[in-house]
Amino acid sequence: MTADEPNEPRLIRVVGAAIVKDGKVLCAQRGAGKSLAGYWEFPGGKIEAGETPRQALRREIEEELLCEIDVDKEICTSDHLYDFGRVELTTFLCHLIEGVPVLTEHERIEWMNPADMPQLNWAPVDYDAVELISMRLERVNKNYI
């Protein structure tokens, strides 16, 4: 790399869980003091070294929401360039196995009808998954889930 070439932004690989229950999807609002505070997201987090995306997602949901999920279909992978780096998000459709989601890191959590999800102020990297989920789950209703 020469002095004239810009540095590549730091790549941050993360996973998100679109947890579905009774036809609704769990949406989480980022807490104050965090990057992207106030934005909505699918709960999840960073993929650690040696983890698969599915393993990372199960671990993150156990840590963040104190419940256990079944990681089902991959919905999509999207990326967005923020001022702190490029975030690559893989979102999965998930189902609760055990427990009830508990707020530990988020400001709020809401169970939303898929058609209403686009009304929230989502983190930009989540837009693609929100669009796909809201269209798919609404179109095929509960047969998809």
User: DSSP H helical segments within 33-100, as ranges?
Assistant: 53-65
- In this predicted structure, the answer to whether residue 138 has a pLDDT above a threshold of 70 is no
Q: How far apart are the first and last CA of the chain?
A: 48
Query: What is the C-alpha radius of gyration for the chain, rounded to an integer number of angstroms?
Result: 15
pLDDT of residue 35: 84
The pair phi, psi for residue 21, each rounded to 5°, is: -150, 125
Euclidean distance between CA atoms 143 and 91, whole angstroms:
19
pLDDT tens per residue, range 64-122: 999 999 999 999 999 999 999 999 999 999 999 999 999 998 999 999 999 999 999 99
Domains in the chain, ordered, with CATH? 11-143 (3.90.79.10)
- 11-21/85-98 β-pairing: parallel
H or E, element range at 128: helix 127-139
**Displacement of CA 103 from its chain's centroid (Å):** 15
The pTM for the full model equals 0.88
Percent of the chain whose predicted confidence (pLDDT) is above 90:
77
Amino acid identity of residue 124, one-letter, is P
Cα 100 from Cα 66, distance rounded (Å): 7
pLDDT interval class at 6 (50, 70, 90): low
